Amino acid sequence: MTNEESRIILCTGGARSGKSEFAERLVLSLPGRKGYVATGQIFDDEMENRVAKHKARRGNLWHNFEIPYDITASWSKILDACDVILVDCLTMYATNAMLKKEPQNQAECNALADALVAELKEVIEATHAADKTVVFVTNELGLGIVPNNRMARFFRDIAGLINQTVAQAADEVYFTISGITTELKAKEVHI
């Protein structure tokens, strides 16, 4: 079973807001074979616990892919195996890229942001061409104070650019806060 049309969906919110659970329920409500792209890496016991909870919640309903880097290298294989794909999450994907590249100045930060944005645009284009649906999960980081160190500001800026890129391409954008989700794209203001 395949989708009737290609869709790009973004689910955003704060940490522990319920956005991943919402995104999983959304994907399960759509027709077709389900794919789960996990971008997290286990570096400590907290992350190990988080990953275990996500895996237990998903069960055996999904084709699972663990992709911390270079999502474009695996995307055609994922599109062949799945009709509806959940990517959880873009923020962790950006974290992995930053830990791997460790930008030391604004030019390197800009280059990394450009590379990640280009990857996501390629994923979105391939998804449309294959007539599939992808649901991206991300954290909304821009609502707090400006971090006092350069690397944290680089991260916030890169995550913001990634989120904007996907939101602009998205057919639907959902925002979850305290377990309550609302759709934002339909209420978008254009000036």
191 residues of the chain, pLDDT tens digit each: 344 589 999 999 988 888 999 999 999 999 999 999 999 877 778 877 777 777 777 777 899 999 999 999 999 999 999 999 999 999 999 999 999 999 999 999 999 999 999 999 999 999 999 999 999 999 998 888 888 899 999 999 999 999 999 999 999 999 999 999 999 998 888 89
Q: Which residues are catalytic?
A: 54
| Sole residue written with tokens 């602009």 | 168
The confidence score (pLDDT) of residue 4 equals 58
Can you give the pLDDT at residue 3? 46
- Structural domains for the chain: 7-186 (3.40.50.300)
Confirm or deny that 40 is annotated as ligand binding.
yes
> Which pTM was predicted?
0.91
And the tokens for 64? 């699972």
pLDDT at res. 146: 85
Is residue 179 annotated as involved in ligand binding?
Answer: no
Has 50 been labeled as part of a binding site? Answer: no
Q: Is 142 annotated as a binding residue?
A: no
At 181, list the tokens.
Answer: 């989700």
Cβ atoms of residues 140 and 15 within 8 Å: no
What pLDDT does 66 receive?
92
Residue 7, annotated as binding a ligand = no
Distances (CA, A) of 170 to 79, 82, 100, 125, 161: 18, 19, 28, 12, 14
Confirm or deny that 33 is annotated as ligand binding: no
Dump the DSSP string for 70-116. -HHHHHHHHHHH-SEEEEE-HHHHHHHHHHHH---SHHHHHHHHHHH
